[in-house]
Amino acid sequence: MAERPKGGEGLRTALSTLDGPLRFLLLSSFLIPLGSFMVLPFMSVFLHERLGLGLGTVGVVLAVASLVQFSGGVVGGSLADRVGLRRTMLWALIIRTTGFLGLLLALRWPPLAVGALVLTCCGAALYLPANKAYLVRGVDDEHRPAFLSAGNAVLNAGMAVGPLIAGPFVLSSPGWLFVAVSGLFVLVTAGHARLPAEAGEERPGDGPAVRPAPGGEGLLPFAANALAFYLYFHFQHFLAVYAVERASSTFYSLVLLLCFALVIVVQPLASGLIRRMRYATALAFGFICLATGLAVLAAGTRPAMLAGGALITLGDIVLFLKNDLEALRRSPRSDAMVFGRQRLAAGLGACASGVLGGQLYGLTEQAGRTGWFWLLAAAQCVMLPPVLLALRDRPAKHPDPLDDSQGALRAYDTDRRLSGR
């Protein structure tokens, strides 16, 4: 029996099969977040300082925009099933380009900025499920993790580079910045119009074979994804306030760069290993990494913030990829619908984290004990995952030999109690 390719070898083998359209799609997966993150991370500053909106209003606008961007993925998946993957991506990019042009016009008429921002988020919601489904269409289960992790890597690279390019211009020359981003999206949209429809559009009888699905069509991956995003976004939402107070905005940027770099480098190399892991082993590993990283943040020192960010990122690398792979395996629905449902789970988790985590951080800040916020978040990483046992599915007719989610989750719960965690 031939030896299975591992690590970077498996990744290179899978990616060597990419044709021209899929290579363009991976390039777009870098350019789209590059352009988006030249603008979106600075929207709170832009709306407040440049357009004069109150902070309370800014918070509500950003919360609504984030919920639309994540949860609208269900609509994106459904639309892709109806009109095809390429057409869905094309319309999504047209909508998003219109949103960035609206931000340019908002420099003359500020109220337009809110609608423009929501429009860009609608485009993002429609685009991502179709993008992922196009990328993995026709790819066998063994190579899907490599394709998905490659897409995640270039996406995170774009997210990391975008703010570095735009930072000096977002307040001093926002007009030119919005023109540049809109122009970039026009070019990317034109490229998508040339993608071959036959490679990406779903047709009756031409989709992937129906997968054996446990009862509930994979409720466990949906719930696990929502929980993972809820816990992870404690870090995403509130590290900035915590880190800037104890170090500086420059150091906070350094922590984010470390996290992006880990996703870019580690996830593609580890994608084969993550695919072969039992599902609940991956869940246990991911949630333990999150718990440890959040607890380390409580120390409040610079090394602790770097180490905590690294551990949290390792946890999300495993959780987010494995949940997507497990949802694909368990659901008989199209890939686009599966990715849309997973985006909905992410949106619900991120929204809950903002609402509940914000209240919790406010209470600890008033008490002068913000370190306790991270310890309480870490405690949730230990106490909440065993609740997923209640959502376990009925055994599949053809179970994956690598999966034993019920038994492994019980083992995780037993280990937790025996170790006193």
pLDDT at position 226 is 93
Q: Is the pLDDT of residue 104 over 80?
A: yes
Are 326 and 414 contained in the same domain?
yes
Domain end marker among 155, 181, 203:
203
Residue range 77-99: mean pLDDT, rounded: 91
**Tens digits of residue pLDDT in 12-49:** 555 566 667 888 888 898 999 898 888 876 776 677 77
Q: What's this model's pTM, rounded to 2 decimal places?
A: 0.71
CA distance 155 to 178: 20
Q: Is the pLDDT of residue 164 over 60?
A: yes
CA dihedral 269, 276, 27, 40 (to 10 degrees): -90
Are 337 and 304 contained in the same domain?
yes
- The tokens describing 90, both together, are 């094309």
Q: Is the pLDDT of residue 168 over 80?
A: no
Residue 11: band (very low, low, confident or very high) from pLDDT cuts 50, 70, 90: low
**Tens digits of residue pLDDT in 243-294:** 878 887 678 778 888 998 898 888 888 888 999 999 989 999 999 999 999 9
Residue 365's CATH number: 1.20.1250
* Integer angstrom CA distances of residue 30 from 36, 39, 68, 87: 10, 15, 22, 20
Are 222 and 314 contained in the same domain?
yes
Report the run of H or E that residue 12 belongs to, with start and end: helix 7-15
Q: Which one, of 156, 126, 150, 154, lies nearest residue 136 by Cα?
A: 150
**Of 50-54, 290-294, 303-307, 415-419, minimum mean pLDDT range:** 415-419
Residue range 223-243: mean pLDDT, rounded: 88
Residue 59: band (very low, low, confident or very high) from pLDDT cuts 50, 70, 90: low
pLDDT at position 351 is 78
Are 49 and 130 contained in the same domain?
yes
CB 148 within 8 A of CB 137: no
Q: Is the pLDDT of residue 236 over 60?
A: yes
Kindly give, in sequence order, each residue whose CB lies less than 8 Å from that of residue 322, ignoring residues fewer than 6 positions away.
274, 277, 279, 282, 283, 286
A 10 A CB-CB count for 180 gives: 18
pLDDT at position 348 is 86
pLDDT at position 6 is 46
- Total domain count for the chain? 2
Does residue 26 belong to any structural domain of this protein?
yes
CA distance 393 to 331: 12
Are 353 and 275 contained in the same domain?
yes
CA distance 383 to 411: 14
Are 237 and 140 contained in the same domain?
no
Domain end marker among 177, 203, 229:
203
Per the prediction, the chain carries an average pLDDT of 79
**Tens digits of residue pLDDT in 122-154:** 999 899 888 888 887 767 777 778 778 888 888
**Tens digits of residue pLDDT in 287-327:** 999 999 999 999 999 999 999 999 999 999 999 999 999 99
pLDDT at position 391 is 66
pLDDT at position 330 is 86
Are 348 and 236 contained in the same domain?
yes
pLDDT at position 161 is 83
CA distance 37 to 181: 10
Does residue 248 belong to any structural domain of this protein?
yes
Q: Is the pLDDT of residue 409 over 50?
A: no
More confident residue, 60 or 216: 60
Are 143 and 284 contained in the same domain?
no
Does residue 324 belong to any structural domain of this protein?
yes
CB 408 within 8 A of CB 281: yes
Residue range 151-165: mean pLDDT, rounded: 82
For residue 197, how far is the Cα from the chain centroid?
26
Task: List the domain range (segments joined by +) for residue 258.
Answer: 214-421
Residue range 396-407: mean pLDDT, rounded: 44
Q: Is the pLDDT of residue 367 over 80?
A: yes
Residue range 46-62: mean pLDDT, rounded: 70
Residue 138's CATH number: 1.20.1250.20
Are 138 and 253 contained in the same domain?
no
pLDDT at position 13 is 57
Residue 101: band (very low, low, confident or very high) from pLDDT cuts 50, 70, 90: very high
Are 51 and 161 contained in the same domain?
yes
Residue range 385-399: mean pLDDT, rounded: 63
Does residue 6 belong to any structural domain of this protein?
no
DSSP sequence for 99-128:
HHHHHHHTTTSTTHHHHHHHHHHHHHHHHH
Does residue 15 belong to any structural domain of this protein?
no
Domain end marker among 203, 224, 250:
203
More confident residue, 190 or 254: 190
**CA angle 146–134–38, rounded 5-degree value:** 80
- The tokens describing 276, both together, are 């072969």
More confident residue, 335 or 190: 190
Are 223 and 103 contained in the same domain?
no
pLDDT at position 392 is 64
Are 274 and 169 contained in the same domain?
no
